[in-house]
Amino acid sequence: MRHVTGRARRAGVALAAVLTWAGLLAGAAGCSGDSRSGLDRVLGKPPAPEDAIRVTPRDGAREVRPGQALRVRVPDGRLESVKVVKSQDAQEAEVPGRISADGRGWSPADGRLALAARYTVDAVAVDGDGHRSARHTTFTTYVPEERFIGYVTPENRATVGTGMIVSLEFNREIVDRAAVERAVHVTADPAVEVRPHWFGTSRLDFRPEHYWKPGTRVTVSLRFRDVEGAPGVYGLQYRTFSFDVGRHQVSVVDAAEHTMRVRREGELLATVPITAGAPKTTTYNGKMVVTEMLDVTRMNGATVGFKKKNGKGEYDIPDVPHAMRLTESGTFLHGNYWASPEAFGRVNLSHGCVGLRDVKGGGADTPAGWFFDRSLIGDVVEVVRSKDKTVAPDNGLGGWNMNWGEWTAGSAVK
């Protein structure tokens, strides 16, 4: 019979204990389904924060694209709180979102990430064993190299005539016109339906069916920031501005009669003698809107295609007074001091503009000065009975020459 020493007995007891613990741990691990070791479960050790609370995009991620989802979730247990803060353009804002009904996930109210922003996520959760865990993560989003912006007419806080059309000229070609159109909101008080129309891929105009009602306040909201207008080209602006509609004034130029009848609120203010385009350089017919008013400006024929054989303009007048732009192609209604006074009301001799009698330097008591002082940007000047075509609707703010069906058909949102 072997003699068992005290040391051997102690070793046997220790080995039995190890085997017993191993069996317990194996059983614990096999029944729990938890990714933690059985030892952690038996000892009550909480999981690592990154296992207990899982955040996407991952902690420290950079150049995250706006289409990637922001999510916070737990494999078991429930989320107690989630706070997400967005830092963009030196401003911080909490991102609204909600925890799901089962407490296992959180998602933002707006699923699209902002560009050029830093996000901070702070979440607290309790697992199935009652252990509380906290997680703090950060990530940054993609900074695009190409941006688009829209140049807006009219200006903020302007008072305009009833014919004003809201017009946006984009600095880049817009491919996803529907997405950009949805990011513009034009509202009126008192309310009236306002609809958009695209001219090509870089201009978007808005107007009601009929001229604005005097006293209307129009508000334009641009929500272009992070909208992808073309592949890799994202919007930059996020702003709101308003303008007011003043009194209603429409002036009708009769090129055959050589007169302009000025009506305000439907009543005739005056009949003014004019000179329109000469037979070889006629004036456009149709409704045109005053988009620019200049006390004095230079007019050079070479800039609008009227050149002599030597390349110089057929005319170059450095001080045209009381000039009001009607089209982008160069049609103005302006003061004229160089023509004979007898020409006004009798003959058409301009290069396509509408001329009113004036004096050099501009006179306040001349027909041109009188009309200039009673006009607003946004007023309508309509030319009739000229031996020319109707002005194109995208030449200046010529959209009033389209009927409502034609106008509304120009929307990219079907």
Q: Which residues are catalytic?
A: 334, 353
Handedness of CA 183, 189, 195, 197 (dihedral sign): negative
CA nearest neighbour of 374 among 366, 384, 382: 366
Residue where the block lists tokens 């006179």: 363
Q: Output 232-239 pairs: Cβ under 8 A, ≥24 positions apart.
A: 232/144, 232/145, 232/146, 233/144, 233/146, 233/147, 233/148, 233/172, 234/115, 234/144, 234/146, 234/147, 234/148, 235/147, 235/148, 235/149, 235/180, 235/183, 236/147, 236/148, 236/149, 237/149, 237/150
Distance in angstroms (rounded) separating the CA atoms of residues 322 and 372: 6
CA 406-408-410 angle, 5° bins: 80
Residue 342 CB neighbours (<10 A): 9
